[in-house]
Amino acid sequence: MTNVMSAPAPRADAFAGVRTRRVLALVLDLVLVSFLAGIIWLALLILTLGLSLLLLPPLYPLVAFFYNGLTVSGAKMATPGMRAMDLEMRMHDTGARVPFINAAAHALFFYLSWFFPPVFLVSLVDSDKRCLHDILASVTLVRRL
């Protein structure tokens, strides 16, 4: 016999202004990831005396992958941009902290979504204002509790 707990009911204001806050959080996070990737790129370029120049193009996606995975699965359950916008990410079914694999998959699905931008319109019809990459990663973005 399995003991399946149902997801706790979110507060009435848990989804208020989430879409707008997500866009602003994304802008902040893209700036931070770009800055981090630039610093790592410059350090590797200097340390290898330019020999790593051809290996550095995949650096940005790698930094973004680990940035999202480590910050969302951490104790604060949000990237710095999300924290600045008073948001946090939780598992959709249980409301628990997001494990690293889900957080990293969420980042991967998000960046893949940019190849077909109309998928972002899913949030306009979803009651929890979830995008397709949220649904695929089984996460929900809510206002900080």
The tens digit of pLDDT for each residue in 106-120 reads 999 998 988 988 888
pLDDT of residue 28: 96
Structure-token match 């929900």, residue found: 140
Asked if the model's pLDDT at residue 55 lies above 60, the reply is yes
Looking at residue 93, what is its pLDDT?
85
Alpha-carbon gap, residue 128 to 34, rounded angstroms: 30
pLDDT tens-digit series, residues 1-51:
444 444 455 555 666 778 888 899 999 999 999 999 999 988 988 998 888
| Mean pLDDT for the chain overall | 85
Average pLDDT for 113-141: 87
| pLDDT at 132 > cutoff 70 | yes
Tell me the Ramachandran region of residue 9: left when phi exceeds 0, alpha when psi lies from -120 to 50, beta otherwise. Answer: beta
Say what the pTM is. Answer: 0.79
pLDDT of amino acid 1: 43
Pairing state between β 139-143 and 87-91: antiparallel
The amino acid that residue 136 corresponds to is L
Mean pLDDT of 87-113: 90
